[in-house]
Amino acid sequence: MAESVAHDGSGILYIVATPIGNLEDMTFRAVEVLRRAGAIACEDTRQTLKLVTRFGLHARLISYYQPREGQRIPLIIGLLREGKDVALVSDAGTPGISDPGFKLIREAIRAGVRVVPIPGPSAFVAALSASGLATHRFVFLGFPPPKREKLRRFLESLRSEEGTLIFYLPARKVADFLAQAAEVFSLRDAVIARELTKIHEEFLRGTVGELGDKVQGRSLRGEAIVLIGGAGKSKAASEDT
């Protein structure tokens, strides 16, 4: 276990990855860090309360969520300067990865606070590892632009990217996204991963066009990860070799 106080007397900001669905994926180290922390900065206190209750923790919870995360930074930096350790968590996965965290981490570094990652679950890494698509090069793109015209230009800008493309999407928007993506990447292999680590975990595979047909009319819930093969990684190309 790392020392609990930085050399200058400041506390440590721990970036703690938490389960994306199955609570059994919580690491021993993550539990111990949360147990010792003077406070836990969390995206949603209601969600984090389930986690701390499950593991018998009693740390102070500080709500740290978008778009008001900036308002909490002075409080958290103040605690760190007092020598208290703070653990940053999101509702699921790794903080700062399409979740609140970046601004606090940046300010902590500027303030000379030691920042320590506690690695663990990440939805897009889990999806990529089981996707069957190329993993030696990939581009994580988070949530794409919601408006149709901006999305079209965004996807066009990725046409020549050779790495696997990875997107986060509200599941209800997957069909519309794939309809537009098919105009640019129709024959490329793609995967939809949803409900990862949960009872109804699902991977759908096919070309971008085929997946668009598969999800039409389906009522999908939660969030999904859509992965699309990079330039030159198409079904048509593989059949020609």
Could you give the number of structural domains in the chain? 2
Does the residue 31 lie in any domain?
yes
Does the residue 7 lie in any domain?
no
Give residue 235's pLDDT: 53
In this structure, are 88 and 147 located in the same domain? no
Does the residue 4 lie in any domain?
no
Q: Which domain holds residue 93?
A: 12-118
In this structure, are 127 and 235 located in the same domain? yes
> Among the three residues 118, 149, 178, which one is the final residue of a domain in this structure?
118
In this structure, are 108 and 33 located in the same domain? yes
Give residue 171's pLDDT: 93
Give residue 65's pLDDT: 86
In this structure, are 60 and 73 located in the same domain? yes
Does the residue 103 lie in any domain?
yes
In this structure, are 180 and 236 located in the same domain? yes
- What is the token pair recorded at 114? 């030691």
Give residue 23's pLDDT: 94
In this structure, are 183 and 97 located in the same domain? no
Give residue 241's pLDDT: 36
Tell me whether strands 164-170 and 223-228 are parallel, antiparallel or unpaired.
Answer: antiparallel
In this structure, are 101 and 201 located in the same domain? no
In this structure, are 152 and 84 located in the same domain? no
pLDDT tens digit string along 97-156?
999 999 999 999 999 999 999 999 999 999 999 999 999 999 999 999 999 999 999 999
Segments in the chain below pLDDT 50: 1-3, 5, 236-241
Whole-angstrom Cα Rg for the chain: 20
Give residue 236's pLDDT: 44
Please state, in angstroms and rounded to a whole number, the distance separating the CA atoms of residues 84 and 4.
Answer: 9
Does the residue 5 lie in any domain?
no
Please state, in angstroms and rounded to a whole number, the distance separating the CA atoms of residues 107 and 115.
Answer: 11
CATH of the domain at 134: 3.30.950.10
CATH of the domain at 26: 3.40.1010.10
> Among the three residues 118, 141, 175, which one is the final residue of a domain in this structure?
118
In this structure, are 69 and 140 located in the same domain? no
Does the residue 1 lie in any domain?
no
In this structure, are 52 and 87 located in the same domain? yes
> Among the three residues 69, 102, 118, which one is the final residue of a domain in this structure?
118
Please state, in angstroms and rounded to a whole number, the distance separating the CA atoms of residues 9 and 12.
Answer: 9
Query: Which helix (H) or strand (E) is 73 found in, with range?
Result: helix 69-81
- CA 195 and chain centroid, separation: 13
Q: Is the dihedral of CA 236, 237, 238, 241 positive or negative?
A: positive
CA of 51: how far to CAs of 4, 46, 54, 57, 122, in Å? 22, 9, 5, 8, 17
CA of 198: how far to CAs of 41, 170, 226, in Å? 25, 17, 17
In this structure, are 94 and 130 located in the same domain? no
Give residue 9's pLDDT: 85
**Buried b / exposed e across 10-36, counting CB within 10 Å, b at 16+?**
bbbbbbbbbbbbeeeebbeebbebbee
